[in-house]
C-alpha cells in the first residue's frame, strides 16, 4: 500500500500499517522529511513513532520516497496530505489534496482503491471520484481521528473505523479491501462502520465540532463560575459523572488550539455556508469566540495579578506546545498568551520540554529557557499554559517558591492543586476557580 503525505497523519499511518504486516511506501514532496523518515527519525515529536519507524525499516516492509511513481503497484493508496485553513478566509485549502490526486492518477490501475484520510469539506470525495473516472480505481473515504501525542496508540487501536464507499459492487469490494487492511483492529473488536462518501467526510467534521463545542462549553461555564464565585473544575467533575455528559474534554482553561480543532470548525462552518445551511452551525462561531476569549482572559489575569502593569516584569511562561506530548505550536494558545504579554512589554521567558525550537523559530522576540528552573528563576509571576507533567505534577510550590522573585501563579490549565500552592504562600489564580 502507499501513503501519500507523510505529516503527522501519514507518517504515523505508514509506520502503523507496516507494523501490522503490510508492505508500505510513504510518499511526500518534502525531501527533508522523507530523508528523516527513511533514517528512522520522526520529523516531529510523537511518542513511539521513532521505534515504529525503525522496526518497519528494519523489517523491509516500510520505505519512503519523494517519487509518486513508487505508488504504482499498491492496491490501496491512502491520501493523507494536509488541508490547512486558506489564507484570508475560513475554508479549507485543498491544493495539496488536488496536487496529490493529479500526480497519483497516472499510476492507478483498475481495481486499486484510493482511500482519503485527510479532513476535507463534505463533497470533496465525490469531486475526486469523478476525476478518477475511467481509471478503474475506486475512491473511498476513511477519516482519521488520531490525537497528536497519542497518534500511534490511536492509529493501532482506534475507537472506530469509518469507511465511506460508493454504492455498488466496486464499493463493496473496496470495503472488503479496507476490512482486510485493518484486520488486527477488527479482530480486537473495533467497530467498523460502512457509510456513503458524504457521511464519512461529515463524521470527521462533526466529531471535531462536537469536541470543540464541549471544550468551549466548559470554558463558557468558567466565565460564569468566575463571576459567581464558583469553581469550574468542581462543576466539571460533578456534571461529568453524568454518563450522558462524561468528564473527558471538560478541561477548562486557555482553550483549544493546534493544527486541527480551530481550523476544522471554521472550515466546517464555511462549507455549511456554501451548502446554504450556515445557520445550522452558527453556534460554531460562538464556540470559536468563547475559545479565543480565554486567551484574552489569561492575559488579563496576569496583568491584574501584577497590579495592572506588566511592563518590565519578568514572567515565566511554562509551556509553548498547544498541548502536552507534542512539539506542535500551530495555533498554540500557550504561545499566543506569551506573545501578548511580550507585546505589553513584559520580560517573558518561555520554556517547554519539546516545542522550544519551534517556538523560537516562530517568535524570536520572546525570551527562552531550555530548563524549567531557569525560566522560573527571579520571575515576578509564573503562568502555566501547557499542562506538561513537568509543571503540573513534578513542580512543587516549595521548589518553585525557592526560585522566583514573586509568588504569583496563574494556572491557565486549571491543572494545579490550588490549596497546596496557597498553603505554600502563593497567590494562586485559576481560570474560573474561586
Ligand atoms: C484533535 C481531535 O482530538 C482528534 O480526534 C482529531 O483527529 C484532530 O484534532 P489534537 O488536535 O491532536 O486532536 O488534540 P486534542 O487532544 O484533541 O486537543 C486539542 C486542543 O484542545 C488542545 O489545545 C488541548 O489543550 C485542548 N483541550 C483538550 C482542552 O482545552 N480541554 C480539554 O478538555 C481537552
**93 CA to centre of ligand 1 in angstroms:** 21
Query: Which ligand 1 atom lies nearest to the CA of residue 333?
Result: 23
Q: Quick one: pLDDT at residue 405? A: 98
pLDDT tens for 190-247 read: 999 999 999 999 999 999 999 999 999 999 999 999 999 999 999 999 999 999 999 9
Q: Tell me what the pLDDT averaged over the chain comes to.
A: 97
Q: What is the mean pLDDT of residues 304-309?
A: 98
> Given ligand 1 and candidates 149, 260, 432, which is best to mutate, with the most ligand atoms within 8 Å of its CB?
260
Q: In the chain, what are the domains?
A: 2-193 (3.40.50.720), 196-434 (3.40.50.720)
The pTM assigned to this predicted structure is: 0.96
Asked whether the predicted pLDDT for residue 434 surpasses 90, the reply is: no
In the reported structure, the alpha carbon of residue 293 is separated from the centroid of ligand 1 by a whole-number distance in angstroms of 17
What residues does 2 pair with on adjacent strands? 25, 77
Strands 76-79 and 2-4: parallel
Q: Which of 49, 211, 287 to mutate to test the pocket of ligand 1 (most atoms within 8 A of CB)?
A: 211
What gap in Å lies between CA 81 and CA 96, rounded to an integer? 6
Q: Within 10 A of 60 (CB to CB), how many other CB atoms are there?
A: 9
Residue 215 Cα to ligand 1 middle (Å): 9
- pLDDT grade, residue 343 (50/70/90)? very high
Taking a C-beta distance cutoff of 8 angstroms, is the pair 104, 29 a contact? no
Task: Please identify, by atom number, the ligand 1 atom nearest to the C-alpha of residue 146.
Answer: 7
Residue 309 CB partners (closer than 8 Å, separation 6+): 303
What is the distance between the alpha carbons of residues 48 and 396, in angstroms, rounded to a whole number?
Answer: 29
Name the pairing type of β-strands 138-141 and 192-195.
unpaired
- Protein residue whose Cα sits closest to atom 6 of ligand 1: 145
- Return d(Cα 164, Cα 143) in angstroms, integer: 9
CA of 70 relative to ligand 1 center, distance in Å? 34
Q: What would the mean pLDDT of 94-113 be, rounded to a whole number?
A: 98
| CA-closest residue to ligand 1 atom 15 | 147
ipTM above 0.90, yes or no: yes
Arithmetic mean of pLDDT, 238-257: 98
Place of cell 522523507: 34
Amino acid at each position: 500500500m502507499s501513503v501519500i503525505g507523510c505529516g503527522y497523519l501519514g507518517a504515523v499511518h505508514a509506520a502503523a500499517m507496516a507494523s501490522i504486516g503490510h508492505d508500505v511506501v510513504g510518499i511526500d514532496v518534502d525531501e527533508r522529511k522523507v530523508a528523516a523518515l527513511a533514517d528512522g527519525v520522526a520529523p516531529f515529536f510523537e511518542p513511539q513513532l521513532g521505534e515504529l519507524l525503525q522496526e518497519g525499516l528494519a523489517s523491509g516492509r516500510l520505505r519512503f520516497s519523494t517519487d509518486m511513481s513508487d505508488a504504482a503497484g499498491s492496491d490501496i493508496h491512502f491520501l493523507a496530505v494536509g488541508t490547512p485553513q486558506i489564507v484570508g478566509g475560513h475554508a479549507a485549502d485543498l491544493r495539496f489534496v488536488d496536487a496529490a490526486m493529479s500526480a497519483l492518477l497516472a499510476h492507478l490501475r483498475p481495481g486499486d482503491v484510493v482511500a482519503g484520510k485527510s479532513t476535507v469539506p463534505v463533497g470533496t470525495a465525490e469531486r475526486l471520484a469523478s476525476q478518477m473516472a475511467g481509471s478503474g480505481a475506486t475512491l473511498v473515504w476513511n477519516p482519521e481521528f488520531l490525537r497528536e501525542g497519542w497518534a500511534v496508540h490511536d492509529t493501532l487501536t482506534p475507537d472506530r473505523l469509518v469507511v465511506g464507499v460508493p454504492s455498488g459492487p466496486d464499493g463493496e469490494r473496496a470495503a472488503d479491501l479496507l476490512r482486510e487492511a485493518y484486520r488486527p483492529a477488527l479482530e480486537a473488536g473495533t467497530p467498523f462502520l460502512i457509510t456513503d462518501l458524504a457521511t464519512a467526510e461529515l463524521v470527521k467534521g462533526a466529531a471535531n465540532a462536537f469536541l470543540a463545542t464541549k471544550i468551549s462549553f466548559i470554558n463558557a461555564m468558567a466565565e460564569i463560575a468566575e463571576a459567581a464565585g464558583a469553581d469550574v473544575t468542581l462543576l466539571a467533575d460533578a456534571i461529568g459523572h453524568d454518563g450522558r455528559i462524561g468528564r473527558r474534554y471538560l478541561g477548562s482553561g486557555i482553550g483549544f488550539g493546534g493544527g486541527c480543532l480551530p481550523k476544522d470548525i471554521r472550515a466546517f462552518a464555511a462549507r455549511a455556508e456554501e451548502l446554504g445551511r450556515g445557520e445550522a452551525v452558527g453556534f460554531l462561531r460562538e464556540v470559536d469566540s468563547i475559545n479565543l476569549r480565554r486567551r484574552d482572559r489569561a492575559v488579563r489575569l496576569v496583568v491584574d495579578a501584577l497590579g495592572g502593569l506588566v511592563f518590565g516584569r519578568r514572567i515565566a511562561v511554562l509551556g509553548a506546545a498547544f498541548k502536552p506530548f507534542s512539539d506542535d505550536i500551530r495555533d498554540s494558545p500557550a504561545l499566543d498568551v506569551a506573545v501578548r504579554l511580550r507585546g505589553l512589554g513584559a520580560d517573558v521567558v518561555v520554556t517547554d520540554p519539546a516545542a522550544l525550537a519551534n517556538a523560537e523559530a516562530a517568535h524570536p522576540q520572546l525570551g527562552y529557557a531550555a530548563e524549567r528552573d531557569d525560566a522560573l528563576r527571579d520571575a515576578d509571576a509564573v503562568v502555566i499554559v501547557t499542562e506538561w507533567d513537568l509543571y503540573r505534577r513534578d513542580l512543587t510550590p516549595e521548589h518553585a517558591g525557592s526560585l522566583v522573585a514573586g509568588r504569583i501563579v496563574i494556572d491557565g490549565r486549571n491543572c494545579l492543586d490550588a490549596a497546596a500552592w496557597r498553603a505554600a504562600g502563593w497567590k494562586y489564580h485559576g481560570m474560573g476557580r474561586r
